[in-house]
Structure 1
Amino acid sequence: MNNKLKIVAAAALSVAALGAQAQAAFPGGKPITIMVPFAAGGPTDRVARDLAEALRKPLGGATVLVDNAAGAGGSIGANKVAKAPADGYMLLVHHIGMATMPTLVRNIPFKVESDFEYLGMINDVPMTLIGKPALTATSYKELTSWIGQNKGKINLGNAGVGSASHLCGLLFQNAIKTDMTPVPYKGTAPAMTDLIGGQIDLMCDQTTNTTSQIEGKKVKAFAVTTSKRLATPALKDLPTLQESGLKDFEVTIWHGLYAPKGTPADIQKKLNDALKVALKDPEFIKKQEGLGAVVVTDKRTDPAEHKKFVAAEIAKWSPIIKAAGVYAD
Structure 2
Amino acid sequence: MKKTFLSSARRRQILLAWAAAASIFALAPATASAAADYPRQQITIVVPFPPGGPFDIIARALSTPLAAKLGQPVVVENRPGASGMIGATRVARAAPDGYTLLLGSSGTQALNPNVFSGVQYKSPDDFAPLAELARAPSILMVGKASPFKTVGDFIDYMSKNPGEINLGNAGAGSVSNQAAMTFLASVGGKVTAVSYKGTAPALVDLIGGQIDALFDTAVQALPHIKGDRVRALAVTSADRIASLPNVPTLNETCCKGAELLIWYGLLAPAKTPKDVIGILTRAVLEARSDPQFQAVMRAGEAIVPSPSEGAAEFAAKINRDVVLFEELARKAGVVKQ
Length-normalised TM-score, structure 1? 0.86
Asked if 2 retains the 8 angstrom alpha-carbon contact of 1:170 and 1:324, the reply is no
* C-alpha separation in 1, matches of 2:191 and 2:23: 69
1:79 aligned residue (63, 74, 89): 89
**What is the rounded CA distance, in whole Å, between the counterparts of 1:135 and 1:67 in structure 2?**
36
Match among 55, 68, 91 for residue 101 of structure 2: 91
CA contact (8 A) 2:163 2:192 kept: yes
Q: Is the 8 A contact 1:82 1:116 kept in 2?
A: yes
The root-mean-square deviation of aligned C-alpha atoms, in Å, is 2.5
Q: Secondary structure at the match of 2:252?
A: coil
C-alpha displacement at 1:36, in angstroms?
1.7
SS at structure 1 position matched to 2:77: strand
How far, CA to CA, are the matches of 2:297 and 2:143 in structure 1? 27
Q: How many residues align?
A: 315
The offset of 1:324, in angstroms, is: 4.7
- Identity of matched residues, %: 37
In structure 1, distance between residues paired with 2:321 and 2:31: 39
Give secondary structure in 1 for the equivalent of 2:95.
coil
1 CA distance for matches of 2:181 and 2:24? 59
Q: Do residues 289 (structure 1) and 294 (structure 2) align?
A: no
Q: 2-side partners of 1:208 and 1:81: how far apart?
A: 24
> Which residue among 262, 278, 303 is the counterpart of 1:269?
278
Greater alpha carbon shift after TM alignment, 142-151 vs 81-90: 142-151
Is the alpha carbon distance of 1:14 and 1:244 closer, same or farther for their aligned partners in structure 2, counting shifts above 3 Å?
same
Tell me the distance in 1 between the aligned counterparts of 2:293 and 2:336.
Answer: 35
Which secondary structure does the structure 2 equivalent of 1:70 belong to? coil
Distance in 2 between the 1:176 and 1:12 partners?
Answer: 61
Question: Of the candidates 321, 326, 329, which is equivalent to residue 318 of structure 1?
Answer: 326
Alignment-derived partner of residue 24 in structure 1: 36
The one-letter code matched in structure 2 to 1:309 is K
Unaligned runs of 5+ in 2: 1-20
1:173 to 156, 161, 184: 184
C-alpha deviations, 1:177-226, integer Å up to 9, x for none?
11112122343344323323433322211112321221122222111001
Cα distance, 1:123 vs. partner? 0.5
Asked whether the 8 Å contact 1:161–1:327 carries over to 2, the reply is: no
State the AA in 1 paired with 2:32.
A
Quick one: structure 1 residues 39 and 324, their matched pair in 2 at CA, closer, same or farther if it must change by over 3 Å? farther
**Structure 1: gaps spanning 5 or more residues:** 1-8
State which structure, 1 or 2, has the greater radius of gyration over its C-alpha atoms. 2
